[in-house]
A and B are shown apart, each in its own frame.
Chain A
Amino acid sequence: MRTTEREQDYAPIAAELDALLKPSLQDYQPRTPQPEKRPWQLSYQVFVAFFGGVLSATLVAYLNGRALRLSRNQLLAILAAGLVGFLATIVVTLLLGRASMPEFLSPGDATTLASRAIALLTFLAFYRLQKPADRVYAFFGGEYGSILPVGLMAIFGLGFVQWLLVKMIVAALAG
């Protein structure tokens, strides 16, 4: 009786063990020690988003995601969130251009405020996608690289590109 009970207790564990004890890390490549390949601190990406906009934030998040070895689906999710954020920026710019604004808010200010808010919201999405992998990286003693070179390029480079693209698209749609 007892043996049967023990076998009954053991059977689910044994089945679970069979499933779990299959190798799944044999394709894992050790990380290279080069500083330029290291991920960046997640919290610094907020500055890129705030000052550079959605496209800047998307680029930085995508590159960081690759450094953190996010899965293909997660990287695609970052790009998709960036695309949604960019489209939202265009829509909001279009709408605010047509809407009557309160006295205290000029159209220019409102557009800037809105696009910054959208960039920050998009950053939150990027943050959630990167956070688990970032935690794993930091927990197992990973060191971070400096976001400054890429961050500045993204802010000024892609920030300008976004401004230009939004202006052109809004003009095309409005006109």
Chain B
Amino acid sequence: MATPERPLTLGEHYLDIGQPARALEIMRQMAGAELENPRYWYLRGRALYALDRHAEAAQALRVGLKRAPWDVQLLHLLSCAEQQQGNLAAAERAVLAALQLAPENPALLSQYGLLVAQGGQLAKAQRLVELAARLDPENVYVGRARTAVAYLQGDDRAATRHGREILTQAPEDDVAHYMVGAALSEQGEVSGAKKHFTTAASLNPEQQAFREAVLQSRYYTHWLLWPLRPFNRWGTVRVWMGAMAILLTLEALGQSRAAFIFAIAYIALCVYSWVVPPLLRWWMWRGRRS
């Protein structure tokens, strides 16, 4: 059936199944009156965005907005495209225009929250995502934004909690797994982080960030690095200061021999931490493209 809508339907289907290049090919063949359809420009923008051609995506979306300035989808995507280019001011104008038309749209509120978070306004970001969560508590996109903002604020426990809430509704959400893994690794729980990173990568091995996270977590949980777990858990500074405190205490208690042995062991551990990790890293990453 050859109707004007058919290529758009096919194009949209290719976008839905993660083939933006095919979608773009189909849309290239469209011409004339079909180009007056704002939906064409939205799908074109979506395809270009998916191909990381953000500037072109923004251009296409603006053309669509000339035909339909009230189109919330076009404005939302334009905001995302501008954000990807680092043009936060333009992204804000687009998302606020969309919010004027749909002020209680949880996805838009979340998008604005992530935008202001990128601009360093974490308090405002939190209020926006909390409001979005009140409006639609089960929205996965809102959940992701909430998790992200908690993580950015340094509240890793809250980030873990919000991430796990997403996973109760959508156990195969790869982004949620990744974010929970990141939050856990910040808390020093490398084994738990590794499980989530591994799941994220198995669900979506094409995301480089996920693959890299798995490799890093395999590295940090490698048996050769077990002696260095305290450094991962508490940080280098705290371990050093703790070691100095133990050493001075032993000396103060007159346990010179014990202090000496402890000092040797600590120095050996330090040397181990300088030699083994780089070798292990070289071994694990050999043959991989950076």
A binding-site residues for B, Cβ under 8 Å: 13, 16-17, 20-21, 23-28, 30-31, 43, 46, 50, 69, 71, 102, 104-105, 113, 117, 120-121, 123-124, 131-133, 135-136, 139-140
**B151 touching A25 by the CB < 8 A rule?**
no
**B128 touching A13 by the CB < 8 A rule?**
no
Shortest Cβ distance from A16 into B: residue? B131
Question: Among the interface residues B92, B120, B134, B151, which one has the most CB atoms of the partner chain A within 10 A?
Answer: B120
Let me know if B207 is at the binding interface, CB within 8 A.
Answer: no
Q: Do A135 and B152 contact each other (CB < 8 Å), given the known contacts A21-B96, A24-B121?
A: yes
**Cα A28 to Cα B91 with chains together (Å):** 11
Let me know if B236 is at the binding interface, CB within 8 A.
Answer: yes
**B103 touching A17 by the CB < 8 A rule?**
yes
Question: Among the interface residues B88, B124, B151, B244, which one has the most CB atoms of the partner chain A within 10 A?
Answer: B88
Point out the residues of chain B lying under 8 angstroms from A24, CB to CB: 92, 116, 119, 121, 124
Let me know if B216 is at the binding interface, CB within 8 A.
Answer: no
Give which listed residue, B127, B237, B251, contacts A105 with CB less than 8 A. B251
Point out the residues of chain A lying under 8 angstroms from B134, CB to CB: 13
**A25 touching B119 by the CB < 8 A rule?**
yes
B binding-site residues for A, Cβ under 8 Å: 85-89, 91-93, 96, 99-100, 103-104, 112, 115-122, 124, 127-128, 131, 134-135, 148, 151-154, 236-237, 240-241, 244, 248, 251-252, 256, 259
Q: What would 19 A/B residue contacts be, using CB atoms closer than 8 Å?
A: A16-B127, A17-B99, A23-B96, A24-B121, A26-B93, A30-B88, A31-B86, A43-B236, A104-B256, A105-B248, A105-B251, A117-B241, A117-B244, A120-B237, A120-B240, A132-B153, A135-B152, A136-B117, A136-B118
Point out the residues of chain B lying under 8 angstroms from A121, CB to CB: 241
Point out the residues of chain A lying under 8 angstroms from B248, CB to CB: 105
**B88 touching A20 by the CB < 8 A rule?**
no
Minimum CB–CB distance for B182 against chain A, Å: 9
**A102 touching B131 by the CB < 8 A rule?**
no
**B120 touching A30 by the CB < 8 A rule?**
no
Point out the residues of chain A lying under 8 angstroms from B122, CB to CB: 132, 136
Point out the residues of chain A lying under 8 angstroms from B252, CB to CB: 102
**B154 touching A123 by the CB < 8 A rule?**
no
Point out the residues of chain A lying under 8 angstroms from B93, CB to CB: 23, 26
Give which listed residue, B86, B124, B154, contacts A135 with CB less than 8 A. B154
**B237 touching A124 by the CB < 8 A rule?**
yes
Minimum CB–CB distance for A164 against chain B, Å: 25
